[in-house]
Chains A and B, each alone.
Chain A
């Protein structure tokens, strides 16, 4: 089959045709079909819309569009009505008839479906909602507008124009320079300047001209879903970035592309697969792309779910068919990576930035963010960054902000603060091996270097907010155990170091901590961080080191006073009855699973500490605030 688009002129003609077909004034119902909304039942909702539209014979006037993740996952399923921009949240199939008959037919707003913030204010338009209003959505700009399974939608919003420009007007070296000048740094966590990497890979000798262009889509941080949403919502932006990369890094050689993607991301795999086939059919992948002579295709490689395979060398070993274990990078992968060929690996979000930089220019890109990258690509952090904002925060979801936005802006202005009137305690940035930052650092501008300075990291952009009910020692225990499980187990410092860190923290949580344990944790963390083979081990002690730094008093309380101020560590808390509040209602006695509560009706109850298992059920069921937790 011949490609439908063979030159840049073909592409522009095709774009005009697609744009003419779509009527921007035509009413559109956009249902978010991101993973979060799907889990809330978005597909059933979409089916209900489809049926209701056809029953009312409205399918020609009103189009129904399933889009990628809008980001406001807390309030899914989300429905946005275009061109008005009206946002309904937590929409159920039962609401559909009313929506069509009232809102669509008569323009009547259904109050209960509007977003209401913690202060009780309601908002009609999507772009007025503080969650969206305070963001800077450039990478996610089209996520809520286009159908990710339609290449026409992507082309209609200007897609593949940057590619055509690059192939027609720019030499490969110029593209590398442009990316270097833009200050784009690796979004997978390392923050290495992408342009510098591209140039090194281009300069590395390759006898047969093969250079591998890899997209690292092995996003594995608990609670992180930035890359997933980009692939599910706008897969062509990632593909376009990679094709531009192939030209810049490998033309006129033989570039070959891989996307290494988690098998646990079935929707992303599916949508990326569809997008790749569409790109091939259109002629954006394959031989002689847009008449430029560039030949390039991309293969999807599904990962088996090992966290460590997100590490670049382990990822390449895994593509080769071996167990995903990292190797030392004294010889860089840009020189000898996959199958010992020059290999350029970038993360999903990094690739998605590339077409934007080409389209809107270095000047625009460098106007966003921190520092000065005009002479030094490490001189700042430019562009935007997507964060997965989760945990104890009102508006969980995907958030895109300019580099340098403060933690406070992200957590309070966008995230809407901490729910339930509780107090903020810490925020962990950068995934499981990121650091936990205290309230005193809320005004820290978030960029690569600032986060590293305070003992955390950008990571791939996970952001977990914690309130006062989180025990920092218990939290460190959780992440150390996660990383001990996910370590590949190759090197002693990572495997055994994390095992022993886990044993010590567990002991502290169990009230068996020893005076010397805190120092031992600190010393062992240093060794794990400095003497391990790969970045997983090097960063794994961060949750411990940062909590030891910012929340040391909690460790000391656990060890010396055998107290857990957050009342999380069961061995360190006791439940007793507050006699003056107890009405003798028998409820706690009935619900106690270990028969630890005795007492008669209308007489004060008591808890047998020997039998109590600290499950907290008595406190949960008591209506008279008569249980004391200490």
Chain B
């Protein structure tokens, strides 16, 4: 259903099904975020995409990624409140993941280069945004990793922090990670997803002799689409 709403006083249209953050960006406005990706469901973890929304008489601070585009709402992007709290969120994030280069760059864009808070682990790069888990579950449908623990001991890991047996080594998590903290390498025809302790031998293309995908991944795909495994013996280029 198409609805009309306002951003910074100007009227736009959107649909109730989309994320407010997506709509805001579609119209060319900039709002920072780390845990949002259009391919997966919004989660509201990083708290960077804060905006103020006026709905009827009520005005509230909210994250825009998990807010629906509703008829008649007015969105304000850079109010004093938004700027103040977003700065604090950046400062908190800098203490969570002091080693995350992309985070530091984004924070600097918003004028935050230092944090008054004590970092828990100087080497940490993970901000626990959960994007890796969501892409693995919702897009790849492997569901190989998940959050463990809760509160301040929450962490993202493979089951029992041992080898993620369900991981197909597709690298989608590595690709979506906003702070590059998962790590993937290929050596001697083995693909390793470092953080999930997953090492998978690569399938060698029968025609061009090039390693092109983990054997385990191809087995899974063949099973899922119920096709002859032999169809995956060659790389996509040689098929």
Contact = CB atoms under 8 A, between A and B. Distances in A.
Interface of A: 306, 308, 323, 327-328, 330-331, 484-493, 495-500, 502-503, 516, 520, 523-524, 526-527, 530-533
B149 interface: yes
Interface stretch (B62-70, B169-177, B228-236): B62-70
B117 A531 contact: no
Contacts of A524: 88
B228 to A, nearest CB: 36
A489 B151 contact: yes
Given A500-B117, A520-B116, 11 more contacts: A327-B44, A330-B66, A330-B70, A484-B151, A486-B151, A492-B92, A499-B152, A500-B92, A503-B117, A527-B89, A531-B50
Interface string B47-68: 1001000000000011100111
A502 B95 CA distance: 14
Interface in B80-111: 81, 84-85, 88-89, 92-93, 95-96
A308 B150 contact: yes
Contacts of B43: 490
A516 B146 CA distance: 38
A57 B130 CA distance: 69
Contact of A488 (B62, B89, B151): B151
Contact of B92 (A323, A486, A497, A516): A497
A532 B50 CA distance: 10
A485 B95 contact: no
Contacts of A484: 151-152
B45 interface: yes
B67 A328 contact: yes
A492 B89 contact: yes
Nearest to A331: B68
Of B45, B118, B120, B150, the most chain A CB neighbours within 10 A belong to: B150
Contacts of B120: 499
Nearest to A524: B88
Contacts of B147: 323, 489
B128 interface: yes
B47 A493 contact: yes
7 contacts: A328-B44, A484-B151, A485-B151, A488-B150, A488-B154, A523-B88, A531-B85
A-B pairs with the 5 shortest C-beta distances?
Answer: A489-B154, A527-B88, A496-B92, A487-B151, A531-B85
B127 interface: yes
B85 A530 contact: yes
A348 B82 CA distance: 37
B46 A492 contact: yes
B152 A328 contact: no
A178 B70 CA distance: 32
Given A489-B128, A500-B117, A527-B88, A330 B67 contact: yes
B116 A491 contact: no
A530 B61 contact: yes
A489 B150 contact: yes
Of B45, B67, B96, B120, the most chain A CB neighbours within 10 A belong to: B45
A531 B120 CA distance: 22
Given A486-B151, A492-B92, A496-B96, A531 B47 contact: yes
A495 B50 contact: no
A263 to B, nearest CB: 16
Contacts of B70: 330
B154 to A, nearest CB: 3
A531 B154 contact: no
Nearest to A308: B150
A57 B4 CA distance: 82
B152 A489 contact: yes
A327 B45 CA distance: 10
A479 B235 CA distance: 58
Contact of A306 (B66, B68, B146, B150): B150
Nearest to A527: B88
Interface in B18-51: 43-47, 50
Nearest to B93: A492
B3 to A, nearest CB: 14
Contact of B96 (A492, A502, A516, A530): A492
State the majority secondary structure of interface residues on A. Answer: helix
A487 B151 CA distance: 4
Contact of B95 (A331, A496, A533): A496
A496 B85 CA distance: 14
Contacts of A330: 62, 66-68, 70
B152 A490 contact: no
B47 A491 contact: yes
Contact of A485 (B61, B67, B127, B152): B152
Contacts of A523: 88
A503 B118 contact: yes
Contacts of B118: 500, 503
A531 B154 CA distance: 20
Contact of A498 (B128, B152, B153): B152
A530 B81 contact: yes
A533 B44 contact: yes
A495 B154 contact: yes
Given A493-B89, A530-B81, A487 B152 contact: yes
Contacts of A492: 45-47, 89, 92-93, 96, 127-128
Of A327, A484, A493, the most chain B CB neighbours within 10 A belong to: A493
A526 B87 CA distance: 12
Nearest to A489: B154
Of B92, B127, B130, B153, the most chain A CB neighbours within 10 A belong to: B92
Given A331-B68, A488-B151, A493 B92 contact: yes
Contacts of B149: 489
B24 to A, nearest CB: 15
B46 to A, nearest CB: 6
B62 to A, nearest CB: 7
A41 to B, nearest CB: 36
Interface string B130-153: 100000000000000011011111
Contacts of A308: 150
B97 to A, nearest CB: 10
Contacts of A498: 151-152
Nearest to B149: A489
A328 B63 contact: yes
A491 B120 CA distance: 17
B66 A495 contact: no
Of A330, A497, A533, the most chain B CB neighbours within 10 A belong to: A330
A484 B152 CA distance: 6
B79 to A, nearest CB: 12
A490 B68 contact: no
A486 B45 CA distance: 16
Contacts of B95: 496, 500
A487 B150 CA distance: 7
Contacts of B50: 531
Nearest to A514: B116
B53 to A, nearest CB: 9
Contacts of A331: 68
Contacts of A527: 84-85, 88-89
Contact of B62 (A328, A496, A500): A328
B65 to A, nearest CB: 9
A491 B150 contact: no
A24 B153 CA distance: 57
Contacts of B62: 328, 330
Contacts of B154: 488-490, 495
A15 B45 CA distance: 55
A458 B196 CA distance: 45
Contacts of B88: 493, 523-524, 527, 531
